[in-house]
């Protein structure tokens, strides 16, 4: 049986008109913010929202404010018809797909910035990125007024920054983390993976493998990160990664840099294969 077509709204007022009756009827609303080019990682967010909420709203908006490189924005994969079909098949109730003018009308001059957790890792390598993310996510939360909003752990720093924003600004929403979905060979799913050549795709899973090996040694606590990480970087470089932005150990809660695993931590990586930037992160628990 084919799923019924998904209702699509493109304006904030149409979104509010569609969601208000649900809210008035006391139905919980789940929000899944995306930039489209949906894959199984996004569908895991939708599936979780559908399981936990009476109504699920997905958003597709390729947010120009969070791209630090114009060529990345230009080549970001798009395909709304396919995305809408996938959302319908996964029991999503509504798609909000505004255009740039709807989200940022002429004269738009506000931004939401979260300091501290935004200033490390991608905050260093992608200037302005997190302010773009928090500005658009804050708007989406205020536009849809969901009870819960779903974010993937694949973008763990984004998840941390969004959680901090919601807490600091008293936005009445529960931010729900959803585990990273991986290919069978360990590569984290990402909309950007379509840009990998067959040769780069063959090398890409090494990132996760090297991270797992480093994480296991870090958890043992015998060898410090300062020795294990340069060795890992060298292995990635030798295998064909063209640039490594970071391979780094940080605390899982406030993202402070760590030398050893003396509290719950995560190992983070951002590395390039040609013009494609891959990011990944995995938990590292201290052995007690």
Q: Which residues bind ligand PAF (CB under 6 A)?
A: 33-35, 63, 66, 133, 136-137, 155, 158
Edge to edge, the sheet with strand 276-284 lists 243-251, 265-273, 276-284
Closer to ligand PAF at the Cβ: 55 or 65? 65
CB of 84 to ligand PAF, least distance (A): 16
Q: How many CB atoms lie within 10 A of CB 100?
A: 13
Closer to ligand PAF at the Cβ: 73 or 203? 73
CB of 156 to ligand PAF, least distance (A): 11
Distance of CA 147 to the CA centre of its chain: 19
CB of 192 to ligand PAF, least distance (A): 11
Of 173, 33, 5, which is closest to residue 89 (Cα–Cα)? 5
CB of 133 to ligand PAF, least distance (A): 5
Of 3, 4, 10, 2, which is closest to residue 95 (Cα–Cα)? 10
Burial 220-248 (b: 16+ CB within 10 A, else e): eeeeebeebbeebbeebeeeebeebbbbb
Closer to ligand PAF at the Cβ: 30 or 232? 30
| Token pair in block for residue 191 | 């909309």
Closer to ligand PAF at the Cβ: 34 or 131? 34
Which of 42, 129, 195, 250 is the catalytic position?
Answer: 42
Report the distance separating Cα 197 and Cα 37, nearest Å: 18
Question: Please, which contacts does 125-130 make with residues 24 or more away whose CB atoms are closer than 8 Å?
Answer: 125/245, 125/246, 125/270, 126/68, 127/68, 128/65, 128/66, 128/68, 129/66, 129/67, 129/68, 130/66, 130/157, 130/158, 130/161
Closer to ligand PAF at the Cβ: 132 or 232? 132
| Whether residue 42 lies in the annotated active site | yes
CB of 114 to ligand PAF, least distance (A): 13
* Residue showing the smallest CB distance to ligand PAF in the complex: 33
Report the distance separating Cα 178 and Cα 49, nearest Å: 10
Supply angle C-alpha 137, 127, 270, rounded to 5: 90
CB of 118 to ligand PAF, least distance (A): 13
Residue that the structure tokens 């738009």 belong to: 108
Report the catalytic residues: 42
């Amino acid at each position: 049986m084919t799923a019924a077509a998904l209702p699509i709204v493109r304006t904030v007022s149409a979104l509010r008109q569609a969601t208000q009756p649900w809210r008035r009827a006391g139905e919980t609303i789940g929000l899944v913010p995306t930039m489209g080019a949906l894959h199984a990682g996004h569908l895991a967010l939708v599936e979780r929202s559908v399981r936990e909420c009476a109504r699920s709203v997905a958003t597709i908006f390729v947010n120009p404010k969070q791209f630090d490189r114009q060529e990345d924005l230009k080549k970001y994969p798009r395909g709304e018809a396919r995305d809408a079909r996938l959302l319908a098949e996964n029991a999503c109730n509504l798609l909000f797909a505004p255009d740039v003018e709807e989200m940022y009308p002429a004269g738009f001059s506000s931004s939401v910035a979260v300091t501290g957790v935004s200033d490390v890792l991608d905050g260093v390598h992608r200037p302005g990125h997190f302010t773009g993310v928090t500005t658009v996510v804050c708007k989406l939360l205020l536009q849809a007024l969901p009870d819960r909003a779903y974010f993937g752990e694949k973008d763990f720093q984004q998840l941390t920054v969004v959680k901090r924003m919601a807490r600091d600004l008293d936005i009445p929403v529960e931010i729900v983390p959803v585990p990273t979905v991986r290919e069978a060979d360990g590569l984290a799913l990402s909309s950007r993976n379509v840009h990998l050549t067959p040769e780069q795709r063959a090398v890409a899973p090494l990132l996760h493998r090297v991270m797992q090996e480093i994480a296991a040694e870090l958890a043992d606590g015998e060898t410090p990160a300062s020795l294990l990480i340069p060795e890992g970087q060298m292995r990635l470089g030798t295998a064909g990664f063209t640039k490594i932005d970071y391979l780094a150990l940080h605390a899982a809660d406030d993202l402070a840099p760590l030398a050893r695993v003396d509290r719950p931590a995560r190992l983070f990586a951002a590395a390039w294969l040609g013009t494609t930037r891959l990011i990944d992160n995995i938990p590292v628990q201290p052995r007690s």
